[in-house]
Amino acid sequence: MNAYIDEPVQFVLVSTIIILSISWILLLLATKNSSNKKNPPLPPGPKGLPLVGNLLSLDPDLHTYFTNLAQTYGPIYTLKLGKKTGIVVTSPAVAKQVLKDHDTIFANRDVPVAGKEATYGGSDIVWNPYGPEWRMLRKVCVREMLSNNTLDTVYDLRRREIRGTIRYLYSRAGSTVDIGEQMFLTRFDLQGIQGKMKGLAKRFDKIFESIIEQRLKITDGKESKDFLQFLLQMKDNNGDAKTPFTMTHLKALLMGARVFVNVWAIHRDPTIWEKPLEFCPERFLDGKWDYNGNDFNYFPFGSGRRICAGTAMAERMFMFSLASLVHSFDWSLPVGETLDLSEKFGIVLKKKMPLIAIPTPRLSNPSLYD
Ligand code: HEM
């Protein structure tokens, strides 16, 4: 994972929805040993139209749309997304099953179109399928680049960057500043992580292809037995069709189901949180909140094998940046403006409107801003 922070999207505090994909291959492997057990039915869900399923009724603000449907269909329900099946999870207990108890099965992420643009600086670990390559990237990330030790050794770099920002804000005293832009566009390519990561190109396709190739070898001359073999036969037999079923179609179909864990809803569930919509940071003061993926009432960094690899960095950066901002300046809104906290759905939640505020230096000695 690189630490080159160049998109505001990376710095929004609340993850919205964790999207995982479960490939048919993994599903087949997972059910292999229980092949004589009947498949359990899918969870309930709204009726969809033929072919498009529920796609036409989807609201772009997925987190609230999913939350509303949960009122009717409960903590786990099914949506038909065209030909794909979406399973939406909105309770801590089911989230635990998906993210922790069965995390090897659910450890792949789907690559949404928006996600491709909003990768963490373009590194591949986030979208890499669970497997040897992801394990290697994860090891490099967690043990070498983002370990506590490494992060401690680059404290001076962090300090320099933050001080540079504070200096800039001092020069803007009394004028409006876009805080998100200033804080989150700061470059922190600590240890040149991005450079190192660039060479490790995603080989998602190759991995599927190699599984398919292996399967081709096994099935050669034998009767088709499973879904993949059926698809392979279809690919081979329809060469003359108007729209041939190609290897690309086959790979797309292998990503047959998605699981959406609605973290947004769980983090606002009034049965878990007292007055969840009230801004009340004091609720975290008692220190009983564990955000290392063990508490499924509160898991801003995810959980299980794919838990955030940058928690140690986030802890350092956010605490340091926020403390520096409030220590060095008093902040006010431009006259006549009110604080707009409306949100915009994304892989992580963003503020709809940028936070524009005016810094007033509060330290008596100007040299402290040098
Ligand atoms: C407050 C800030 C942050 C929050 C709330 C956050 C949250 C998350 C969440 C929810 C996930 C997905 C976990 C899952 O699928 O179960 C994730 C993944 C990830 N995060 Fe963060 N993150 C933050 C900051 C960072 C930073 C600063 C870095 C690196 C410098 C980072 C690196 C990663 C990586 C590499 C992954 C993918 C891990 C994998 O797939 O193996 N994150 N993060």
- ipTM confidence score: 0.97
The two beta strands, 257-262 and 84-89, are parallel
Q: Is 145 in the pocket of ligand 1 (CB under 6 A)?
A: no
Cβ atoms of 324 and 166 within 8 Å: the answer is: yes
Q: Ligand 1 within 6 A of 300 CB?
A: yes
Atom nearest to 293 CA in ligand 1: 16
Domain ranges of the chain: 8-369
- DSSP one-letter string for 330-364: EEEPPTT------EE-SSB-EESS--EEEEEE--S
Ligand 1 close to Cβ of residue 349 (< 6 A): no
What gap in Å lies between CA 255 and CA 270, rounded to an integer?
A: 34
| CB of 316 closer than 6 angstroms to any ligand 1 atom | no
Is residue 111 within 6 Å of ligand 1 at its C-beta?
A: no
Mutate which of 104, 308, 319, 350 for ligand 1 pocket (most atoms within 8 A of beta carbon):
308
Coil, helix or strand at residue 313: helix
Ligand 1 in contact with 27 (CB < 6 A)? no
Which residue's C-alpha comes closest to atom 32 of ligand 1?
A: 310
Distance CA 21, CA 24 (A): 10
pLDDT number for residue 37: 52
Give yes or no for a contact between 356 and 178, defined as CB atoms under 8 angstroms apart.
yes
CA nearest ligand 1 atom 26, residue: 310
Pocket lining: 125 vs ligand 1, CB cutoff 6 Å: yes
pLDDT computed for residue 363 by the predictor: 96
Query: Could you tell me if the CB of 231 is within 6 A of ligand 1?
Result: no
Q: pLDDT value at position 8?
A: 25
pLDDT score recorded for residue 183: 77
Ligand 1 atom 29: residue of nearest CA: 310
Task: Determine contact, residues 8/185, Cβ cutoff 8 Å.
Answer: yes
According to the model, what pLDDT value does residue 17 have? 72
The reply to whether ligand 1 has any atom less than 6 angstroms from the CB of 189 is no
CB of 307 shorter than 6 A to ligand 1:
yes
pTM for this entry:
0.72
DSSP string, 68-106: HHHHHH-SEEEEEETTEEEEEE-SHHHHHIIIIITTTTT
Tell me the one-letter amino acid at 26: L
Report the nearest atom of ligand 1 relative to the CA of 305. Answer: 41
What is the position in ligand 1's atom list of the atom closest to the CA of 2?
A: 30
Please state, as a whole number, how many other Cβ atoms lie within 10 Å of the Cβ of residue 192: 12
Per-residue pLDDT tens digits for 295-337: 999 999 999 888 998 898 888 888 899 999 999 999 999 999 9
* Residue range 7-51, pLDDT digits in tens: 222 222 345 777 665 544 444 334 344 444 556 688 999 999 988
The residue type of 84 is K
Q: What is the pLDDT of residue 299?
A: 93
Topology classification of domain 8-369: Cytochrome p450 (1.10.630)
Ranges of the chain with pLDDT below 50: 1-14, 23-36, 112-123, 187-208, 210-211, 219, 221-227, 230, 243, 249, 252-255
Can you tell me the distance from the alpha carbon of 66 to that of 344, in angstroms, rounded to the nearest whole number?
15
Ligand 1 site, residue 303, Cβ cutoff 6 A: yes
Residue nearest to atom 21 of ligand 1 (CA): 308
For the chain, helix, strand, coil in percent to 5 are: 45, 10, 45
Q: Which atom of ligand 1 is nearest to the CA of 300?
A: 5
**Atom number, ligand 1, closest to the C-alpha of residue 14:** 5
54 ligand 1 Cβ < 6 A: no
Q: CA 48, CA 50: separation in Å to the nearest integer? A: 7
d(CA 249, CA 193): 35
Give yes or no for residue 177 CB within 6 A of ligand 1: no
Ligand 1 lined by 129 (C-beta under 6 Å): no
Q: d(Cα 46, Cα 54) in Å, to the nearest integer?
A: 7
pLDDT at 271: 93
